[in-house]
Amino acid sequence: SFCCFLRFDGIKEGDVVRHDGNRSDGYLEHIFKHAAKELFGMDVKEITYKALKNKDFQEVTLEKDGETVLRFAAAYGFRNIQNMVLKLKKGKFLYHFVEVLACPGGCLNGKGQAQTEDGKPDKALLNQMEEMYAAIPVRLPETNVHVQKMYQDWLEGMDSKKVQETLHTKYSAVNQTASNLDIKW
């Protein structure tokens, strides 16, 4: 279950590329580096994950002038997702971005992957898949000619009104009523 892109800018069909990051889990690392550069003018080469309550709930922060300006988290597995939702409900949610995956250990550790006969993850195979994934060339989405053309032609530029209307959203609190179902995680 690799999360890769097909190249379609003159490279033969079937070539795969990947986003920034060491594993196929998601875009946290790419988005973190991009946000650091775009919002704070900081060029982050490597990020450091800090495990919090367990290895499947990790945090990444960016500091500028002694102040934490970005706080991202990776929450893998339903237990961590549940804890995250509870903190969000209580108003104690500190993160600007959270990458959420249902499988503890991430995509490559999911139930759709090869396992040993006793139903446990095959660690040797997992290591081999991670090495194969790391060998795929990185291709940043914003460098893709077709993405640039889409922004220019269809979205009328990077900071256009159409970009705001099409790609951005706003969230507002929902008033709780007696008829709402109370979801318990």
Q: Where are the domains of the chain?
A: 15-111, 137-167
**Mean pLDDT along residues 62-67:** 95
| DSSP per-residue string spanning 106-131 | -GGGSTTS-B-TTSSB-HHHHHHHHH
Inform me whether the pLDDT recorded for 5 exceeds 50: no
In this prediction, residue 2 carries a pLDDT of 38
% of the chain at pLDDT higher than 70? 74
Q: What's the pLDDT band for 105 if we cut at 50, 70, 90?
A: confident
Given 3.40.50.10090, 3.40.950.10, 3.30.70.360, 1.20.1440.120, which CATH number is that of 15-111? 3.40.950.10
Report the alpha-carbon distance of residue 149 to residue 140 in Å, rounded. 15
Is the pLDDT assigned to residue 123 strictly greater than 50? yes
pLDDT beyond 90 at 183: no
pLDDT at 100 over 80: yes
In this structure, the number of other CB atoms found within 10 A of the CB of residue 74 comes to 22
Q: Are 108 and 23 in contact (CB under 8 A)?
A: yes
* Global confidence as pTM: 0.66
- Is the Cβ–Cβ distance between 145 and 46 less than 8 Å? no
Confidence (pLDDT) at 109: 67
